[in-house]
Amino acid sequence: MTDLPQDSRGRVAELHVIRAEAHDGPSERATEAQHAKGKLSVRERIDLLLDEGSFREVGTLRRHRASGFGLEAKRPHTDGVVTGWGRVHGRTVFVYAHDFRIFGGALGEAHAAKIHKIMDMAIAAGAPLISLNDGAGARIQEGVAALAGYGGIFQRNTRASGVIPQISVMLGPCAGGAAYSPALTDFTFMVRETSQMFITGPDVVQAVTGAEVSQNGLGGADVHAGTSGVAHFAYDDEESCLEEVRYLLSMLPANNRENPPVAESTDVADRRCEALLDLVPVDGNRPYDMHRVIEEIVDDGEMLEVHEHWATNIVCALARMDGRVVGIVANQPQSLAGVLDIEASEKAARFVQMCDAFNIPIVTFLDVPGFLPGVDQEHGGIIRHGAKLLYAYCNATVPRISLVLRKAYGGAYIVMDSQSIGADVTYAWPTNEIAVMGAEGAANVIFRKQIAAADDPDEMRQHMVKEYKSELMHPYYAAERGLVEDVIDPAETRQVLISSLAMLTSKHADLPSRKHGNPPQ
């Protein structure tokens, strides 16, 4: 550093010059290169994420102390990551954002220390943490010190889990061990074409397996949003992605000691939903779109679906009812008839756990014919994976309401928050069929001898199916035995659910004293 000015005004002027240099980044050329890739600069991203003028940066003047491989001659301020806090919709959040223009956003010792600091501040303040990821992984020149930096991030991700919301926004590459931090957070956003995540890159994959694949083909947004389930949301550009992050934050509490923010609703709480009478066919073999059912019930038809493109046979979404946030889990008859399989069980289980961690009531809509049969499912561990959803529901202490729209068969009925596993209130529509299995399958098992001995087996089978339905599958069978609280008019669904949620607002439930459970993996 040059000789310091000898008066306060001179030193303040010098401070402003240094801060301006740190704010602008390494060079205009580096910024242009970032824009040429279709990516925003780190400051542009933070400006889009946070309320205008609310960002307070920390660690602006931090520089690395490493030497060797030419590092001692290149010591830019910020060390490639911008950290600080600001507001989203007037509520405090903490953020760290990689600056790809500096060392490719690679993580070194000082870089990691800044992230550790802001994560500790977020946990202490009880406020959400958002990471804007655009980095090339560990800074190889710093060796094991960089790897230790990642270890500190993972440890804090785990400590913050279920305590404050953690959101990872992928805006560039995220390779190797760095990908495990987003995997530990509550939500992961990705941008198509510009963001990728993978443990081993295309070159290594080709060298080891011989398979040729592009970066996007290996770990792009659509791959992780639709195939692997690693990404919860995928968008076409950074602007819409960051706007949706803001929307998600508006539906989450600051921490696990608070309830989600309540919004003033203009949608009448006791509004009748006459359209529901036509949306859901009585015939259990006819599909329909569960999205339309949910949109008819929630405030203004608005919901934020999580994992929209993965495990589409189940819908998980955040929405509001009378201004209060609820988590919705629903079978989707348009996809695999709404059965539960390995991926659907995992998707719903994680969503239920998130809702329970952050005091979000859970409403479950059932139309489920059972678990998906097949050798692949059994060998893939459907028992183990299905148990994840069962465990998540049984462990949840938030208000829980379930509604049977149509089919609710066998073990899948039990797993989907039935009264027997702790749902606080359970309802059914007059179209419900709650049973061990479908009438055709049940008749074939129970009356197989009579059917086989009959002069006309087909006629006898149909007679026995009709008898089984009339005895054990009529719409009021479960209500008569206290397995549902009431059979309700579908048009009254919204007002019944809102009234029940209001009753459960002060629910308090304690789990047994323990270090932690041992959920199925």
Residues with active-site annotation: 176-177, 411-412
Residue (of 187, 193, 146) closest to 164 by Cα position: 187
Q: What angle do CA 282, 410, 418 make, to 5 degrees?
A: 85
Q: How many CB atoms lie within 10 A of CB 101?
A: 22
92: which 2 tokens? 């405090």
Q: To which H or E segment does residue 411 belong? A: helix 410-415
151: which 2 tokens? 């270890």
370: which 2 tokens? 């059972």
- Which is it for strands 91-98 and 81-88: parallel, antiparallel or unpaired? antiparallel
d(CA 32, CA 43): 14
- Which is it for strands 187-191 and 129-133: parallel, antiparallel or unpaired? unpaired
Residue 85 neighbours by CB under 8 Å, 6+ apart: 55, 56, 58, 92, 93, 94, 95, 118, 121, 122, 125, 127
264: which 2 tokens? 């003033």
d(CA 7, CA 26): 29
Interior/surface letters 135-155, b for 16+ CB within 10 angstroms, e for the rest: bbbbbebbeebbeebbeebee
d(CA 467, CA 463): 6
Q: Helix, strand or coil for residue 417?
A: coil
Q: Please give the biggest Cα pair distance in the chain.
A: 111
Query: DSSP class of residue 131?
Result: E
376: which 2 tokens? 């692949």
d(CA 191, CA 40): 12
